[in-house]
Amino acid sequence: MDDVCYLLKLNQRRSRNLMSWLSGSRCMFSPITRSCFMHSRNPYRIPPDFKLLGPELQPYLVQTGGHVTLDYQNDEALRCLTKLLLRRDFSLDIELPSNRLCPPLPNRLNYILWLQDLLDSLPVAQNEILGGDIGTGASAIYPFLGCSLRPNWRFRATELDETSFSCAFQNVKTNSMDDRIHIIRVLEHDTILGPLFRNMDSNQALDFTMCNPPFYESVQEIQTSLQIKEFPPNAICTGGTTEMITEGGEVQFVGNMIRESLLFKDRCHWFSSMLGKATSLESLVLLLRSSQIHNYAVTELVQGQTKRWAIAWSFRDERLPDIVARSTSSSFVHPFLPPKNELRASHAIQYACNTTPANTAVTCGSY
Q: How many CB atoms lie within 10 A of CB 59?
A: 11
Instruction: Give pLDDT, residue 298.
Output: 96
3-state secondary structure of 205: coil
Q: Cα torsion at 333, 336, 341, 344 (round to 10°)?
A: 110
Which residues of the chain register pLDDT less than 70?
1-37, 124-125, 215-246, 248, 342-367
pTM of the model: 0.81
3-state secondary structure of 15: helix
Pairing of strands 268-275, 206-211: parallel
Instruction: Give pLDDT, residue 125.
Output: 63
Which tens digits make up the pLDDT trace of 200-221? 998 899 999 999 987 555 556 5
Query: Distance (Å, rounded) from C-alpha 256 to C-alpha 279?
Result: 17
Query: Distance (Å, rounded) from C-alpha 137 to C-alpha 244?
Result: 11
Helices (H), the chain: 2-8, 12-16, 19-22, 75-90, 105-120, 141-149, 162-174, 219-228, 241-244, 249-261, 279-290, 322-325, 341-355
Please tell me the total number of residues recorded for the chain in this structure.
367
Query: Distance (Å, rounded) from C-alpha 347 to C-alpha 272?
Result: 29
Instruction: Give pLDDT, residue 78.
Output: 93
The number of C-alpha atoms within 13 Å of 309 and in the hemisphere containing its C-beta is 28
Instruction: Give pLDDT, residue 113.
Output: 97
- Class of residue 138 by CB neighbours under 10 A (exposed 0-12, middle 13-18, buried 19+): buried
Closest to 135 in 3D by CA, of 180, 186, 178: 186
Q: In sequence order, what are the residues at sequence separation of 6 or more whose Cβ sits closer than 8 angstroms to the Cβ of residue 329?
A: 300
Closest to 209 in 3D by CA, of 266, 130, 144, 145: 130
193-219 burial, b for 16+ CB within 10 Å, e for fewer? bebbbeebeeeeebbbbbbbbbbbbee
